[in-house]
Chains A and B, each alone.
Chain A
Amino acid sequence: MEDATLSAATWFWLMIPMPAVVVLSLINLAIKKGRDD
């Protein structure tokens, strides 16, 4: 029971692609704001 864990590959696909689109959106907003200023 103690050994049960999510594999590294599952963690990667769970935790990287979805937050990545939020980070990309934030970068996009920062770039557009920078241009406007």
Chain B
Amino acid sequence: MNFPTLTAFIAYLIVLMSIGIFFYLRTKSLSDYILGGRGLNPWVAALSAGASDMSGWLLLGLPGAMYAGGMNNIWIAIGLSMGAYLNWQFVAKRLRKYTEVANDSITLPDYLENRFNDSSRVLRVISAIVILVFFTIYVTSGLVGGAILFEETFGLDYQLALWVGSLIIVSYTFLGGFMAVSWTDFLQGTLMFLALILVPLIVIQTLGSWGEVVARTGEIDPEYLDAFSGMTLLSIISLMAWGLGYFGQPHILARFMAIRYPQDTPKAQMVGMTWMVLGLFGAIFTGFAGIAYFANAPLDNSETVFIALVQVLFNPWIGGILLAAILSAIMSTVDSQLLVCSSAIVEDFYKQILRRKAKRRELVWIGRFSVIILALIATSLAANPESKVLDLVAYAWGGFGASFGPIVLLSLFWRRLTRNGALAGMVTGAVTVIGWKNLSGGLFDLYEILPGFLLCALAAIVVSLLDKEPAAEIQAQFDSITT
């Protein structure tokens, strides 16, 4: 085990834990625990939305895809940047305002129930089930990624690496709740950003120039240089469809709800989009330059390209910090997702069905207990190292995008949407994604989020139009939201 790398890693984790403990001492209510009491300034909201969104995918997945396939993998980055922009532009501010007016909703199921004045709780429970199912899969994939990183970097046994990683993640999620998560995400977002800018610049400098990188890569295979090589219209659409997922990701939408003032949104959008686009460029150029750098000794696992470059190009102290950025990326997503699951259990099951008169303090502790239970389940599922991490991530991303995305958009912008319409759309989206995922060949090779999203929207609109109009007070509340 490398001493400087380990020391830098541990120093980083101590800073992270200190932030968790600091905010633990300041947590008073469930709203504080879940949303940080709607107190996020634009910088923290933007970077924590980005960090919790991008996960290890930005440091491992995208550079790995670029390394393996070259420029024809830029389409997913284009789709995601467009989706994130549209989400900030049209959803963030209106959702922030609407959730406050709709009985101060602090979670997505909470918002949906209050938006439609649904006293049956069906909408809340169905959406909470979707959240629990897909996030458990999502968290599992994150824990597998973290375990692989610990295993590769420190030579730990996979199972030990998994339990160490899970313990660290749960500890500070458990301690500080959302405020700690948002502030640690801010720190993680900054570190990820620096790593993604620094690594490709150093690689290109080491190889001589950008022209040299392109020349060497083209010499290996000219196909690496072409964004259209091996692509069909269907495959380009399929990759760009990842962007649709943004409108339905509960952990990202939670950041929008937690922004301090609605008028802070444009600034947060500016910070968030700049961070994201520069980060995407960093990941693209890291993977692409890796093709030229490792031309004579190709990597076995393409997704280790960032780790391998850090290990060969930086001294171990800086390398330790940069590798901690990968852990950051994984942790920032897993902790946010654990917290959204925990709030689903507390707000949507415990408080609504089991103990309606539970005190706030009790709810805080139930929330913390839920984080531990969920993490244990996810860790157990992650114990199988054969799990396909990226497949699971794509599945969960598609599931949320197709189940919630159209419903969030329609609920914000279409007065006529009814509770039954929302319910029909949500179920249709989830079922379509699960069904499509299990079919293959021809049209079924299309990423399942696209048919899921379209059918969800169609079902929601058709059922709403067949349904009776929403009550006058629901329509009045809708009209009171101005952006």
Residues of A bordering B, CB below 8 Å:
1-7, 9-10, 13-14, 17-19, 21-22, 24-26, 28-29, 32-33, 36
B272-298 with Cβ < 8 A to chain A = 273-274, 277, 280-281, 284
* Main DSSP-derived SS at the B contact region: helix
Chain A residue nearest in CB terms to B220 = A4
Q: B225: CB under 8 A from chain A?
A: yes
* Residues of B that sit less than 8 Å from A by CB: 71, 74-75, 77-78, 81-82, 84-85, 88-89, 214-219, 222, 225-228, 263, 266-267, 269-270, 273-274, 277, 280-281, 284
Q: List 30 A-B contacts (CB under 8 A).
A: A1-B215, A1-B218, A1-B219, A2-B215, A4-B214, A4-B218, A5-B218, A5-B225, A6-B214, A7-B226, A10-B71, A13-B78, A17-B78, A17-B82, A18-B280, A18-B281, A21-B81, A21-B82, A21-B273, A21-B277, A22-B273, A25-B85, A25-B266, A25-B270, A25-B274, A28-B269, A28-B270, A29-B267, A32-B263, A33-B266
Q: How far is the CA of A14 from the CA of B227 in the complex (A)?
A: 8
A-B pairs under 8 A by CB, number: 82
Knowing that A4-B218, A5-B218, A10-B74 touch, tell me 10 more A-B residue pairs with CB under 8 angstroms: A4-B217, A4-B225, A6-B71, A7-B226, A9-B227, A10-B228, A14-B71, A17-B81, A21-B81, A22-B270
Closest chain A residue, CB of each to CB of B273: A25
Closest B residue, CB atoms, query A2: B215
Contact of A29 among B82, B222, B266 (CB under 8 A): B266
Q: Are B225 and A7 in contact (CB under 8 A)?
A: yes
Cα of A32 to Cα of B284 in the assembled complex, Å: 32
Tell which of B74, B81, B222, B270 touches A4, judged by Cβ atoms closer than 8 Å.
Answer: B222
Q: Which of B219, B222, B277 has the most CB of A within 10 A?
A: B277
Q: Is the CB of B269 within 8 A of A25?
A: yes
Q: Do residues B214 and A5 form an inter-chain contact, with CB atoms below 8 A?
A: yes
Chain A residues contacting B277 (CB-CB under 8 Å) are 18-19, 21-22
Chain B's closest residue to A26 (CB) is B270
Say yes or no: A4 contacts B215, CB within 8 Å: yes
